[in-house]
Amino acid sequence: MTIIHVFLLMLGGHALADYPLQGDFLAKAKNHLAPLPGVPWYHALAAHSIIHGLFVGLITGSALLAVAEALSHASIDYMKSDGTVSFNVDQALHLGCKAIWCGLFFAIPGI
């Protein structure tokens, strides 16, 4: 596989995880400033972020990159929820992370 191929797979995984697999429930429940009653926001944010990490892990075969994706995705979405970053900046940061994971995947064999 080429770096472009891996990056495109990650973009596809991101689109699936951020839209149809997130759904209205997770989109609302993960917001720490306005969580759904009875639903711990951190459970929803963790579940959403783990789905993203799963895609990166499946694509690269790297548990380390999967964990890095889950943690970075959670951090970025947390900042979006509190208004630190806009939707467009949120998406740009997520795609930037994917570019970093691709670079690391090809630069460090066996990562």
Q: What is the pLDDT of residues 19-73, one digit of tens each?
A: 999 999 999 999 999 989 999 999 999 999 999 999 999 999 999 999 999 999 9
Residues 2-29: what's their mean pLDDT?
Answer: 97
Residue-wise burial string across 24-42, b where 16 or more C-beta atoms lie within 10 A, e elsewhere: eebeebbbeeebeeeeebe
What pLDDT score was predicted for residue 63?
Answer: 98
- 3-class state of residue 83 by DSSP: coil
Residues 86-92: what's their mean pLDDT?
Answer: 98
The answer to whether 98 and 3 have CB atoms below 8 angstroms apart is no
- 3-class state of residue 62 by DSSP: coil
Tokens read off for 92: 């740009």
Half-sphere exposure of 37 (CA within 13 A, CB side): 0
| Residue numbers of the domain that contains 57 | 3-107
What pLDDT score was predicted for residue 85?
Answer: 98
What pLDDT score was predicted for residue 13?
Answer: 98
- The tally of domains found in the chain comes to 1
The answer to whether 70 and 97 have CB atoms below 8 angstroms apart is no
Q: Average pLDDT over the chain, rounded to whole?
A: 97
What pLDDT score was predicted for residue 59?
Answer: 98
